[in-house]
A = this chain, B = another copy of it.
Amino acid sequence: MTGAKQGGGGEEPVTLDLLKRKMDDFAKERDWEKFHSPRNLLLALVGEVGELSEIFQWKGEVPKGLPDWKEEEKVHLGEELSDVLLYLVRLSDVCGIDLHEAALRKIELNAQKYPVKKESSNRYKSSDDPSAAA
């Protein structure tokens, strides 16, 4: 993984495919592929989700935008969110799953499952639908 440029205008857009290739190069360059079995990566991802949760665990309810957080807390949060993302991308790749196709399809499936209502009342009953039935 050489010559990586930081985001910004004119650079290669940060696609899931770019992250996948960077993670693959990273592992190959260090001879770490043998450790990247599906279940090893899954447990590593769970570990990172734990670290992400630890950031929030004693804060109580926090508002969007995290207005009272110091800059270093936000940087740390960005690192943990990234750790989860990178293991997720790597896990998908190692499982032979095209994550960007799957993600687009899932958004479409969700749109069909929860169609936009013209009227204001939402009548969803599924417990994973946050809009409680009126």
> Which residues of A approach B to under 8 Å, CB–CB?
1, 4, 6-7, 13-17, 19, 22-23, 26, 29-32, 35-40, 42-54, 56-66, 74, 77-79, 81-86, 88, 91-92, 94-111, 114, 116-117, 120, 122, 127-128, 130-131
Contact = CB atoms under 8 A, between A and B. Distances in A.
Main secondary structure of the interface of A (DSSP, over half): helix
A96 B74 contact: yes
A77 B40 CA distance: 16
A116 B29 contact: yes
A85 B97 CA distance: 13
B57 A22 contact: no
Nearest to A48: B50
B81 A64 contact: no
Contacts of A103: 14, 19, 82, 85-86
